[in-house]
Structure 1
């Protein structure tokens, strides 16, 4: 008997090593050696300074640093994404639980009374009309994972959790970049407002000059009208800029978990950002730096394991069941005579399902190829984003220099035409044209500078923002609790830098500094 048991155990152990999933070996992508014709760039080698996870400090703006810290700590969308990762970890625990025997206990007690005059009971019957029953039992079921279906489901759950961890990193990077972009735009609007205010002061002086010349009968009233038109038009444009600034400020407030009505950032008159030059890594390393690429790769790994699950459906599904306990009509349950037990082994093999299993297997292969296509698409999009922002960074540098020259020329023209008009050597129309050109050139320069700083932010985002695939939690780290742990289940221990601990400050939407 023992030999048969050992033989069965050996067979179970041997069969449990059968993994029907194909070997996971994606086709390697052939990647370019550099970044096109961006000759001003130097590809960063591993020894060079790489992007830091707090990359925004390169801009040298304390206000931006404080806002980024608040967003990382309090942003509700990011916290919700962390909870999604915890739920994925719980799904891992659920999938893995089927590898263990499932134990259940039950207890019941009942008492029944029948009628003395029930049907088929004779008038002289002396049988009992009361019956009681007490029962305690334990049931154990176990499904040996002969074909690795359960383990492949567990691996799929782990890979899905890793993909969600990558999605969390992508959401965090997107939040960081969105906040930095909004802040750059806000400061750009501040500088535009400063230009408008400077021009408005100049135009007020021009209105006074035209009025003085009108009083002296050396200039027509049309000059005053033209000067006032220019002044009021510029004031309206400044009001529009202030409106845009308020809207951007509201967006920043929401990102840092503050109610817009109570949030304010003091304006400035000029840019205070450092001249940032993000280190650009080799194209081959981009696949290790982008969270979306890592998430797409984990999708391929999941689809690969799903093939093994579909293959396992062609083999017998074996399960073991056992039950033992005591049953009595009183409380003498510990007696062996009142014991009971039951055990069974069941093997189920579908013989004909009309092609359902083959369809499932074929669909699994198709889904894997689909994930390969999606992965390649994500990689191409990643290269496009980097190349686009490299082009923007390159061209905006040149455009900024060119626009600075245009501003200098326009300001000289404005000064000369106003001097000529004051001396009576030209009409005021020439002065208005020069003023419009100078204002447009200065505003255009601020817009180009804003786009240049934003291009650097977008380039950093495209390069992965200092993230690395090595930050993904390992498959052995994903269990949210131990098998026999029944306490401290409110929050799981953070892994991969993703925690779900709540911050009491998240409920404070007032924007007041404590």
Structure 2
């Protein structure tokens, strides 16, 4: 009996065939090349975030976020959850052997006893038992195991995708805070200058050298600058709160923050080909693993149409007395194979197969959509990269021109050639131009971060060896 059981177990483990369709990776539904400027020699995936973000203050924030961010912790716990589910499913590939011990005593009344006298008897058993182990001839259990493994791998890739997004979001939140801080500094300097100008206008008005209209225009500039300062104070504080939420805790003793114009954050990165994204981006790899899981479930649904063979067996010792359990001749065994052949299930198996096939088709669509989204993100960032460089240069030229205009307007006003209105208008336009320059620099840096993320950068802290 033991030899027969082992032979059947080995046959079930070794002869299982998969009925899942052969997996073929769908073709990428995108163009062969990216639009926009794709110059560069080093790929984002091979560029560590410490190399891409040389600002030590930002490096400290990213390091803290990778430790304390709650979304990243949740993603890590999801991996543990998926690993546990996979282990539960994979346990069905091997038989579960349990130790058993049982005992029972019963009294039979004299009216039912063959001797006519009441009788008390008992039975005791100990041994090992094999409970309903399925011989996976048609690969049902193996397909379910493959599906669970693919789901586990998809969850692992999802965690990597969360990390890439976290690194990028921390960088963008930090740059946003820096942008508001720089604009706030500009607003404070502007307010101080306009307060001094207002005081001079008040003195000129007091001695009759200017009209009340000029005084009120100067006062308007002061109040406008004060409103801008208060607005930027609120925006900077809120940006700081958003950064703290991403990092996961308040950070102190950080290195000094440079100005946006001083940061060398833009690195020349090669975009490569769209096909490279299939290996670089964890979200695409996760979508493919979900597709593989759905494909494996088709195999399990197909196997449900075929007979299911299971074994239940036990071996041990039995006796009617507890003291006789281990005496010679007390050995006992049982062997109960079972075959279940589907005959009529009201279309349940057919519907389950249709469901598995539809879910696979949905997984294909999802996979293709993720690729298209990734392609668009990279293309958008590449197109914006060159244009934003030119926009920064153009906006700097606007600031230079407005500075000259203000100087000339002030000279004309001092010489009595023009009115104070020309000076007020020049001051307002210069302030707007400087604020726009800060915002344009912020857009350029944010776009660099978006390109780095969309190309799969942010998984490593240092550059990978060649």
Structure-1-length-normalised TM-score: 0.81
Alignment correspondent of 2:387: 395
- Shift in Å at residue 33 of structure 1? 3.3
Root-mean-square deviation over aligned CA pairs? 3.0
Q: Matches of 1:235 and 1:267 in 2, distance apart?
A: 25
SS in structure 1 at match of 2:378 = helix
- Shift in Å at residue 202 of structure 1? 1.7
Alignment correspondent of 1:296: 287
Among candidates 46, 53, 57, match of residue 63 of structure 1: 57
- Shift in Å at residue 289 of structure 1? 1.0
Alignment correspondent of 2:333: 341
SS in structure 2 at match of 1:429 = helix
Among candidates 355, 358, 381, match of residue 366 of structure 1: 358
SS in structure 1 at match of 2:196 = helix
- Shift in Å at residue 200 of structure 1? 1.3
Contact 2:170 2:243 in 1 (8 A): yes
Equivalence map 1:23-422=2 (5 Å): 23-29=22-28, 31-36=30-35, 38=36, 40-42=37-39, 44=41, 48=42, 50-52=44-46, 54-109=48-103, 127-128=118-119, 134-141=124-131, 142-259=133-250, 271-274=261-264, 275-325=266-316, 326-422=318-414
Residue ranges of structure 2 left out of the alignment (5+ in a row): 461-466
Equivalence map 1:452-491=2 (5 Å): 452-465=444-457
Contact 1:51 1:279 in 2 (8 A): no
- Shift in Å at residue 391 of structure 1? 1.9
Q: Matches of 2:71 and 2:215 in 1, distance apart?
A: 55
SS in structure 2 at match of 1:320 = strand
Assess, with a 3 A threshold, how the Cα gap between structure 1 residues 266 and 235 changes in structure 2: closer, same or farther: farther
Residue ranges of structure 1 left out of the alignment (5+ in a row): 469-514
Q: Matches of 2:106 and 2:261 in 1, distance apart?
A: 87
* Higher RCO by CA contacts (8 Å cutoff, separation 6 or greater): 2
Contact 2:146 2:296 in 1 (8 A): yes
Q: Matches of 1:53 and 1:77 in 2, distance apart?
A: 24
Contact 1:320 1:346 in 2 (8 A): yes
Assess, with a 3 A threshold, how the Cα gap between structure 1 residues 41 and 446 changes in structure 2: closer, same or farther: same
Assess, with a 3 A threshold, how the Cα gap between structure 1 residues 235 and 113 changes in structure 2: closer, same or farther: farther
Among candidates 406, 411, 417, match of residue 425 of structure 1: 417
Assess, with a 3 A threshold, how the Cα gap between structure 1 residues 239 and 59 changes in structure 2: closer, same or farther: same
- Shift in Å at residue 426 of structure 1? 2.0
Contact 2:314 2:334 in 1 (8 A): yes
SS in structure 1 at match of 2:457 = coil
Contact 1:190 1:270 in 2 (8 A): no
Q: Matches of 1:112 and 1:406 in 2, distance apart?
A: 103
Higher helix share: 2
Between 1:434-443 and 1:396-405, the stretch displaced more is 396-405
Alignment correspondent of 1:498: none
- Shift in Å at residue 441 of structure 1? 0.6
Q: Matches of 1:426 and 1:119 in 2, distance apart?
A: 131
How many pairs does the alignment contain? 456
- Shift in Å at residue 283 of structure 1? 2.0
Assess, with a 3 A threshold, how the Cα gap between structure 1 residues 293 and 135 changes in structure 2: closer, same or farther: same
SS in structure 2 at match of 1:105 = strand
Assess, with a 3 A threshold, how the Cα gap between structure 1 residues 10 and 286 changes in structure 2: closer, same or farther: closer
SS in structure 2 at match of 1:193 = helix
Q: Matches of 1:149 and 1:300 in 2, distance apart?
A: 18
Assess, with a 3 A threshold, how the Cα gap between structure 1 residues 7 and 295 changes in structure 2: closer, same or farther: closer
- Shift in Å at residue 428 of structure 1? 1.6
Assess, with a 3 A threshold, how the Cα gap between structure 1 residues 323 and 217 changes in structure 2: closer, same or farther: same
Q: Matches of 1:84 and 1:356 in 2, distance apart?
A: 32
Q: Matches of 1:229 and 1:453 in 2, distance apart?
A: 34
Q: Matches of 2:2 and 2:218 in 1, distance apart?
A: 108
- Shift in Å at residue 43 of structure 1? 6.4
Q: Matches of 2:95 and 2:406 in 1, distance apart?
A: 87
Alignment correspondent of 2:464: none
